[in-house]
Amino acid sequence: MSAGAFVSYLRVSTARQGRSGLGLEAKRQAVADFLAGGSWRHVAELVEVESGARDTRPRLADALALCRIHGATLVIAKLDRLSRDAAFLLNLQKAGVRFVAADMPEANELVVGIMAVIA
């Protein structure tokens, strides 16, 4: 992996998952595994407890702002968990922030657009 800066965004669906760490630790580990061995800088980790059905995600907005400030790439654990709403995922692409999913780092914008429509 090339040098760069990353902001990780981890989302869990329920407050119970957030408090217990269920799911959160697995996502954190997936991101850590993805970034392992690279020459990179982890700017911040932002965690959100919010249903995937909701488009209002203040911590994601914070993560995108940090990416813009630091010229960082947003990294998430799993692409299909970011959102199941095609419009939301496509709007994320339009935000002008590069993002990568640890489970599918080779996914380009075309692949992400197709997956968003299918999801």
- Mean pLDDT in residue range 37-42: 80
Name residue 43's amino acid.
V
The whole-angstrom separation of Cα 24 and Cα 22 is 5
Can you list the domains of the chain with their CATH numbers?
Answer: 4-118 (3.40.50.1390)
pLDDT in tens, 49-65: 876 666 677 888 899 89
This prediction has a pTM of: 0.75
C-alpha to C-alpha distance for 6 and 42, rounded to whole angstroms = 5
Q: Which residue has the tokens 């790439």?
A: 73
